[in-house]
Structure 1
């Protein structure tokens, strides 16, 4: 079988991006798009053929060059990065009415940062790729620079993520002062004791990854960034950037901080993130923000799986990551279609807009069912594997979270085709409604094939993961929690021998997933017909609204508040690790 070096995965997009930024002004738009798409597609295909092992970029000796490590988990993530970027660029080919080559260049640099982070075998280099990812993400979030909201959302993204990076750098400094090395494998070989200094280093290093993953209370920036970022960019933000933060947390803990028991700490953070994300998802009218909070909810599920730290749970959340990326990417692209055709992302304003184009609403409903856990989607398979690996009460919470996020998306799909009455009073002083959203392209009466192909391909990809149950995901999950195997691979060149976790449907997973999808449909119908509920039930709604509006006000949009919550999160994480 043909094998490839991981260096090209990182260097290739950087070189092509530089060429496009220099020559793009003289190249026709189709050439720029075509070159960018071929580059990201090459990254995705390369993921399947990377040679397991460790190499140093440029042939420099170990400790001088950038170490890149290929194992099952990093291969899966590189493939996912390339695939999502390819679909996003394909969608944007006919989506943007006026775009210059620097958009494609930024996407390629972003892809290089994502891939480098997944492959890096050195803690400091992980931070470097984290910063490349963050700088490009900031520029992409604020891409619509003529809009004040875009600048605010991008600035919030940049400040909060940069703060997380600085705190991670402080933790890296503590580790270097203690061990004199920053390679993940050498740090693991140092066998750090479970003392206060190690806890402090873990908390500081993890902060950057938790910010990127948007784990509560580090999450506030994510919905603001999604609300203003171009729709194709949201596919990368939700589909792979946030999950890579969870990957960084899992990788660093398994290899470097294995002596620390973080089960209680991560379980608490994961459950709080899942529940808050689901509640905020249900409350949204702005469909882009709704999908962003849905991502936060599912990130919470991933963190709970990391807390378990077993091959089965790890294989489950990696499977869920791949399946969720396909579903969430498709949903964001469908929102882009709605914005292009109707100039709005407000659920109420879009009511009845798809009576004549029910295909868009049908695809959105399919995505909602997949988020709820409907078999045989890959997201449902991963969720089922996670629920088998955690205690029953935790599994119940995670199922309810999936039901709520799926029901929120199904509610939007029902309104699109005109099912249920629309609220008489559309005013909302607290929530961001999404009315009057600026189109990202000219009005499209007829959708190009490239824009329709993206959602179909991504939903089909998630379905294929669930139907094929690829064993590579089981091997990836096992590799991610096998800290000793990672050290042997890097330091001794010894391939891991641990048998891969099984990725397969169970009877309970099929039953629970189907039941969850049915309940999500019922909740969505109840939501759109809420105005017709009996009076005794409607009287309780204002009291509930006062409580949830207070939760909305916590998400103030003020970056100073978000920075304060980062330090609250650091304190909480440290306390949970020490007490756990």
Structure 2
């Protein structure tokens, strides 16, 4: 079958699976509903992988105008177009495989009969897969908004899945309000672009903007569209919803939120800039670079500092995601394809490592009814394989060779150093601090290193919102023995992150995809004119001496920080500046909305001089 004909199926198959489970799930036993969801998820994954293999081979782009609604001779049209290139198809395949991992991991979750008889959870997961794949493959800005909102709506429902408990409802509400505000900004930006060009397709808008110079309207559209996507990416100061949502969402949902959803926000910003705003009538490259560098550095540093301060393991990993989103943004801000290729590899490796760490955290929660680093001191020493996976994942998060995050970090920091020579320092410090926080938790929980907390009773009851003590298991009762799927999934995810760093074909696909992403003319010609993209010259990312050295340095710093931290008393209070910083994570929706508006103003200030000055 022609590759283009497969694109609608990548989205439609999980949608059909979700519809089937909604229709007949109440009549199926739990095991049957789980099996059906896995079958549809695997089918969608195979389709996405097939598309990926074909677009990384002879064809650079695969374009499908749904139902044959192509633009007329004047270039105008109302049809919906799906476009696959190596980066978009790669993210669709990654999202689909991660959904399969989540469904396998959650086989033992939510065993209350009323939940499994409805098939609600697996149906929502399949709907989430469809939204993720649709967002990566669409070539239409309005349909990107539709998939964006579908993704958000499903994520709200999954975050507050335990609707009978107040904390998940509150976390889902904060998630929903802030992300809906981002969606409104995105829709308003699309409206301005439609008013300017009369088009909704990415390629059509880009070509129409080429007919004029930069204007205040284009600036406003760029700021609003970027705001909507950066809210989903949890970039500072739009990030406040993410730790609250992760703290209360079911652990399998966290695998998707941190493993792929926030990364799609970074992908969206990159895709929209290079197809719509990178021309003569859009936003100058220097303005885009300056804006994303500032936002990326703020996000990376603040996320790393807050990650180090957490003892609630889910919050720790959530702030780690925020920090790494900052590093992804620094990579895509760099002119040329090298930084984008590095960020692409970083995203792939991070997806496996972060999902593995969340899966391990879920095991701790269901075995010991706690995700408090201090309360869990020495508890996991009984599980040797689990401990090895957790500690290796912490090292991989720190950028240790030869894991995928290390190769992505090495490639992105080398590219960024050409534009801003100080950026490798940010990469090394942020990787060391976030990896060190995960290793610190692993040393305490898995090896029993350091001093046990003096007041475990206070940890269980007095600070439940921030410490993670006294949680309820997400399975029906505490686990006595670790189910094989729950242990096999994090080990497999970690192996996948290793493959990203050592399999040359993955790096080559990332380099090829980044070269196509930044070649705006080839995208417009392929979508609007049906012209095959000419062969592009690109550099396949690979390990270099400096990349290996900086990776070893960040990993060594992470281990050193972790060892020093476990020697301190776990009951030591935070310093006054850190205590003040933590107050920004207030939990009040009004505060989060105010910071979102401040972020809009920041983006406008960073971008305006290059257009209006």
Q: Which residue of 1 aligns with 2:102?
A: 88
For the pair 1:396 / 2:405, whether they are aligned, the reply is no
Query: How much does 1:144 deviate?
Result: 1.0
For the pair 1:341 / 2:371, whether they are aligned, the reply is no
For the pair 1:229 / 2:259, whether they are aligned, the reply is no
Return the match for 1:467 from 502, 513, 517.
502
For the pair 1:44 / 2:53, whether they are aligned, the reply is no
Query: How much does 1:488 deviate?
Result: 1.3
Matches within 5 A, 1:403-442: 403-416=432-445, 417-425=447-455, 427=458, 432-441=466-475, 442=477
For the pair 1:385 / 2:403, whether they are aligned, the reply is no
CA deviation vs aligned residue, 1:73-99 (integer Å, no higher than 9, x gap): 111011101110000100001233234
Contact (CA 8 Å) 2:231, 2:239: kept in 1 or not? yes
Q: How has the CA–CA distance of structure 1 residues 36 and 309 changed in structure 2, closer, same or farther, with 3 Å as cutoff?
A: farther
Please report the RMSD computed on the Cα atoms of aligned residues, expressed in angstroms. 1.7
Contact (CA 8 Å) 1:53, 1:495: kept in 2 or not? no
- Secondary structure at the aligned position of 1:256 is classed as helix
Query: How much does 1:2 deviate?
Result: 7.3
TM-score (norm 1): 0.96
Contact (CA 8 Å) 2:375, 2:453: kept in 1 or not? no
Matches within 5 A, 1:312-391: 312-391=338-417
CA separation in 2, counterparts of 1:48 and 1:18?
23
Q: Which residue of 2 aligns with 1:171?
A: 189
Query: How much does 1:499 deviate?
Result: 2.2
Query: How much does 1:129 deviate?
Result: 0.4
Matches within 5 A, 1:213-292: 213-258=233-278, 259-260=282-283, 261-292=287-318
For the pair 1:304 / 2:330, whether they are aligned, the reply is yes
CA separation in 2, counterparts of 1:154 and 1:212?
14
CA separation in 2, counterparts of 1:357 and 1:64?
57
Q: Which residue of 1 aligns with 2:605?
A: 575
CA deviation vs aligned residue, 1:188-247 (integer Å, no higher than 9, x gap): 112153222211110011111000000000000011111111111111100110000000
Q: How has the CA–CA distance of structure 1 residues 331 and 2 changed in structure 2, closer, same or farther, with 3 Å as cutoff?
A: farther
TM-score (norm 2): 0.91
For the pair 1:196 / 2:222, whether they are aligned, the reply is no
CA separation in 1, counterparts of 2:166 and 2:595?
24
Return the match for 1:506 from 544, 548, 555.
544
CA separation in 1, counterparts of 2:11 and 2:126?
10
Q: Which residue of 1 aligns with 2:486?
A: 451
Query: How much does 1:65 deviate?
Result: 3.5
Contact (CA 8 Å) 1:315, 1:501: kept in 2 or not? no
506-515 or 269-278, which moves further after superposition? 506-515
- Secondary structure at the aligned position of 2:6 is classed as coil
CA separation in 2, counterparts of 1:501 and 1:491?
27
CA separation in 1, counterparts of 2:344 and 2:522?
18
Contact (CA 8 Å) 2:132, 2:261: kept in 1 or not? yes
433-442 or 43-52, which moves further after superposition? 43-52
Matches within 5 A, 1:128-207: 128-190=146-208, 191=210, 193-207=213-227
Structure 2: runs of 5 or more not aligned = 55-60, 72-76
Contact (CA 8 Å) 2:171, 2:248: kept in 1 or not? yes
Query: How much does 1:23 deviate?
Result: 0.2
Matches within 5 A, 1:498-537: 498-531=536-569
Return the match for 1:57 from 66, 77, 86.
66
Query: How much does 1:142 deviate?
Result: 0.4
CA separation in 1, counterparts of 2:532 and 2:409?
29
Query: How much does 1:61 deviate?
Result: 4.1
Q: Which residue of 1 aligns with 2:596?
A: 566
Q: Which residue of 1 aligns with 2:57?
A: none
Q: Which residue of 2 aligns with 1:116?
A: 134
Runs of 4+ residues over 4 Å off in structure 1? 425-431
